[in-house]
Amino acid sequence: MSEPNLYRLITQDNWKLACLSGHIPLHDIDHHDGFIHLSTEDQCLETANRYFDSSQPLLALEISAESVAGLIRWEEVPSRGSAFPHLYAPNLPTETVQALVALERGAAGFTFAARTAIEKKP
């Protein structure tokens, strides 16, 4: 059985920067905590609603857990009542992203919208 996908929230502007640099920009909290914050699909929308506003278009980068195997630690986050995937690596390469999932903000908060697969170069 394969591992579930993991998700990284990022603005569309930061995704454009990531495509140029080859690495997904870190958030201030990543620098502070010493790891890169990720979510499962079930955790993603709550994370978006807690930490992001609708001032910029938001994406959930879908990452195969297998592409970061050995670098993930599942750690309990007491304020959320569940374990979250934390990536202990200096950066997250864009090549780990297998799809972009647009998020839309409505009256009830963010929801998943369109999913666009990323074509991998041979």
* pTM recorded for the entire structure: 0.90
Give dist(CA 1, CA 11) in Å, integer.
31
Q: Does domain 5-117 have CATH number 3.20.170.20?
A: yes
Give dist(CA 56, CA 87) in Å, integer.
25
Q: How confident is the prediction along the chain (122 residues), in pLDDT tens digits per residue?
A: 467 899 999 999 999 999 999 999 999 999 999 999 999 999 999 999 999 987 889 999 999 989 998 899 999 998 888 899 999 999 999 999 999 999 999 888 999 998 999 876 55
User: Which residue is associated with the tokens 């979250």?
Assistant: 84
